[in-house]
Amino acid sequence: MIHNFNAGPSILPKQVFEEASRAILDFNGTGLSILEIGHRTPLFEAVLHEACELVKELMQLNSDKEVLFLHGGASTQFFQIPLNFLGENEKAAYLDAGVWGTKAIKEAKAFGQVDVVGSSKDKGYTYIPKDLQIPADARYFHYTTNNTIEGTEMFHIPDTSVPLVADMSSDILSQQLDFNRFALIYAGAQKNIGAAGVNLVVLDKNFKATAGRKIPSMLDYQQHIANGSMLNTPPVFAIYVCMLTLRWLKSIGGIPAIEKINREKAERVYSMLDNHAVFRPTVAKEDRSRMNVVFVIDDPEKEKAFQQACKEQQFIGVKGHRSVGGFRLSLYNALPMESVDAFCQFASSFR
């Protein structure tokens, strides 16, 4: 059996693969493939509507929230957000807690002033900065909820009156949060929501663009809202896979149910690592991600042997990101407990 620990694109539920594969040949008994139906037909409009409604239901969003499925992935949001919401004479607060936060900061500086209110760069991004002093006059506060590469995660929502903007690409829908607290949430789909090629954006209607600049239509959130995520041809198949994945999540009990499972998966892995002399988790205990478990082996020969053993045992995607090295296990929503237990049994016997 192959155990897929890839960081993204990552594992999806088996039933999603099965239904999506059938739809490639025949979508809902129409004789047409999901890959060839018109995006402005009732066939796809029903898919998009259901996907949006499932997001609202699972996240318990109020009527002030708009749900969009957009092109470009999370990286496009790094500049689309300040383009819309940060004027040249305004400032935004940002948290620098990993590679993705650093990239977001770089893009935002092209549009206005950026106030970095906390950074964990001093220790290689192995912890989440605490006691953040967020300026009350900041246009918004941006942070990454889970740092996929470094293996840290924020489990609380910052206490501030400033509009909150969050990159939730790698832990979206994995734990219960008051999602209505956020002015804008964005997440690349390819980890917990569906297939690569589409980005989820949840935007508060009251969070208005005030930058005072002319915005190209394809980068203007209001244009996307007015056109119902169909300002141009949307990624039909990627949105369809998102809809199937959201259906699956609802069927197993939604976010409360998957959070319980995710906690158990992470606890089993970290317990094994903490009790094995060969492995060393690199992240501060209180900030350890439940989605991306990062650890190292300090002996180069043992590291090489472990990599080879993982390959032989078909544990896929366990090599750490090239920027930090070591190992990484991605425990996204769709990863079954069976894979977690198989890895723990294998790794605990490693010598």
Do residues 136 and 161 make contact, with C-beta atoms less than 8 angstroms apart? yes
Nearest to 203 by CA among 25, 65, 48, 16: 65
Does 167 qualify as catalytic in the annotation?
yes
SS3 23: helix
**Bond prior to 9 in cis (omega within 30° of 0):** yes
Distance (Å) of CA 317 to CA 273, 288, 309, 328, 335 = 18, 19, 13, 8, 13
Q: What is the DSSP string of 291-351?
A: SEEEEEESSHHHHHHHHHHHHHTTEET-BPPTTT-SEEEE--TTS-HHHHHHHHHHHHT--
Amino acid, single-letter form, for residue 323: S
Strands 152-153 and 141-144, sheet pairing: unpaired
Amino acid, single-letter form, for residue 115: D
Tokens of 280: 């060393």
* CA gap 225, 48 in Å, rounded: 13
Tokens of 190: 């390819």
SS (H, E, C) 76-123: HHHHHHHHHHCCCCCEEEEEECCHHHHHHHHHHCCCCEEEEEEECHHH
User: Which residue among 65, 96, 171, 191 is the active-site one?
Assistant: 191
Beta-carbon count within 10 A of 133 CB: 10
User: Which residue among 167, 171, 204, 287 is the active-site one?
Assistant: 167
Nearest to 137 by CA among 118, 112, 119, 155: 112
Catalytic residues: 100, 167, 191
